[in-house]
Amino acid sequence: MQESLLQQGLDITLYGMGIVFTFLLVLVICTTIMSRVVTRLFPEAEPVAASPVSTPASGAAGDLRLRKIIQAAIEQHRNRRR
Q: What residues make contact with its own copies under the rule CB under 8 A?
A: 66, 69, 72-74, 77
| Calpha distance 39→36 (Å, rounded) | 5
Tell me how far, at minimum, the Cβ of 47 lies from its own copies, in Å: 20
| Calpha distance 14→57 (Å, rounded) | 46
| Calpha distance 51→53 (Å, rounded) | 6
Q: At 51, phi and psi to the nearest 5?
A: 40, 70
Tell me how far, at minimum, the Cβ of 70 lies from another protein, in Å: 17
Which residues would be at the binding site for another protein (CB under 8 A)?
A: 2-3, 5-6, 8-13, 15-17, 19-21, 23-28, 30-32, 34-35, 38-39, 42, 44, 47-55, 79-80, 82
